[in-house]
Chain A
Amino acid sequence: MDVTHQDQAPASFPGGVHPTAGGGILVTKLDEVINWARSNSLWPLVFGTSCCAIEMMSTASAKYDWSRFGFEVARATPRQADVIIIAGTIVNKMAPVLKRLYDQMADPKYVIAMGACATSGGPFFYNTYSVVKGADHVIPVDVYIAGCPPRPEALLHALITLQEKIRSGATREQVRVEKP
């Protein structure tokens, strides 16, 4: 099937419009439309443990404004959130709480590890007795961001990367479903 007439649909929309005599016929795949819709309205969970939370707040505020990409509905409860941005260090006492928050989120759910601490323990990797060396010891992570703390642009890039991952069906959730 020839799906090339994309100029009448949004650029990111998965599919095309076939012009016919009585109007156009939209041709697409249901899975791709669902992924496209999901990727454009991700609600993040307000989960900031330390310094990175300030940069997350900067990203949410006027200059960087993550609502341009559909992230502005930050939720305080995990039951209403789609993506958890781990902004800060996870210590041993916090790890069960993080796991519980993740379990309370509704499927499909995505995880971004923001900053060096959430990625690997970062500056607190050596000589500490209480830091979890990376949030992926506790919950699975989709996108990692480097930096201590990362700039707001880096967080925006991670959010866009997550959207692309969801659209292409490459997130951990989607891959897991397709396995036999």
Chain B
Amino acid sequence: MIEELATTDAGEMVVNVGPQHPSTHGVLHLVITLRGETIRKVEPHLGYIHRSIEKMCESLSYRQFIYVTSRMDYLSSHINNHACALCVEKGLQVELPARAKVIRVLMDELTRLASHQLWWGAMAMDVGALTPFFHAFREREAINDIMEETCGARLTMNYMVPGGVMADLHPNFQKRVKDFIHLFRSKIDEYDELVTGNVIFRSRMEGVGRLSAADAISYGCTGPTARGSGVRCDIRKLAPYEIYDQLQFEEPLETGGDCFARYLVRMREMRQSLSIIEQLIDNIPQGDFQAKTKAVLKLPKGEFYSRVETARGEFGVYIISEGGMTPYRIKFRSPGFSNLSALDHMARGYKIGDLVAIMGTLDLVIPDIDR
């Protein structure tokens, strides 16, 4: 085990943050080399929540393995399930009913909203403001209630299945979503009033943790982290799945590359998600919510890849099939892992207090990184 506090020959101090630390949002271990208060190097150590999910999936059938993926990026569990279902459908060559597609997109966007709400509260808490945490969770409970009514669970829903969704929408769904949109439209302005314009908050955020567009691309950053540096990378725009190509929404881009730019991207994404839900909620087509599939799914021999945009960036599922009932190998491409790899580059030269702000705007979910 690394010494808790050590001094190198060059007069630099080595400090351990984590694995038990409130600002790492889980069990991430960072070994930070400091000169005075200035960060010279940040070295993330992973594996404290490595649950061998990829290996597990090799022994589970194509219907079963999807439920484990809810536990990876648990804040985007619908979207993780969605990517897996898409990949299996690609192998089976199933065409989805229109209703299933719309339900999936609605659920994805609600999940994205819930995830960004939690990020907003947790990040404000990281930089020292406790009140936003309670505001964010108040609105998040409304989404949890909607999810619970239709999917039966609050957090790990397992609602997407190969061929559609598991059950039809609850009769109250439309009304409750409309109520939520009405509520959240005013609350998101309150979020802006409370935090975005705050002088102390902006001085913690602006000019901190700069990431250039070229670096964002070379580190493989995706999602709001890369869009804060001006890189177009929204999978919903670049490689539209389901019905995203028929929807009117824009990809928020900021060019600052600092923490505040990443913050603004996520705030604007919340408004975009709201507008997507508004476009769809009155236009849910009638029909089946699930395509007809066989009871036992067998993918043909070959390799299949699908990718979706989670709340953190590009999530990819890569299945190698030998033609059997279980996959031969599954690889997940998680957005958090690539975004974390840029942390060292972003944090160098800034003060140790800024590290918490930088990590907050990366929106890390550690089980998504370790899997």
Contact = CB atoms under 8 A, between A and B. Distances in A.
Interface string B36-63: 0000000000011111100110111000
B49 A49 contact: yes
B49 A76 contact: no
Contact of B67 (A49, A51, A123): A123
Contacts of B59: 126-127
Contacts, number: 100
Contact of A51 (B47, B118, B137, B155): B155
Contacts of A57: 118, 133, 137
Interface stretch (B21-29, B95-103, B238-246): B21-29
B49 to A, nearest CB: 5
A17 interface: no
A98 to B, nearest CB: 9
Given A101-B20, A123-B71, A50 B137 contact: no
Contacts of A89: 49, 51, 367
The interface residues of chain A, by DSSP majority, are classed as loop
Given A51-B367, A55-B155, A128-B51, A63 B26 contact: no
Interface residues on A, range: 20 to 34
A76 B23 CA distance: 10
A94 B27 CA distance: 8
A97 B52 CA distance: 19
Interface of A: 46-51, 53-55, 57-58, 61-63, 76, 78, 88-89, 91, 93-94, 97, 101, 123-124, 126-131, 148-149, 151
The 4 residue pairs across chains A and B that have the minimum distance between CB atoms:
A61-B137, A51-B74, A76-B22, A127-B59
20 contacts: A49-B26, A49-B367, A51-B74, A54-B74, A54-B118, A54-B155, A55-B155, A58-B137, A61-B133, A61-B138, A62-B137, A63-B141, A76-B21, A78-B20, A89-B51, A91-B51, A97-B19, A97-B48, A123-B68, A124-B52
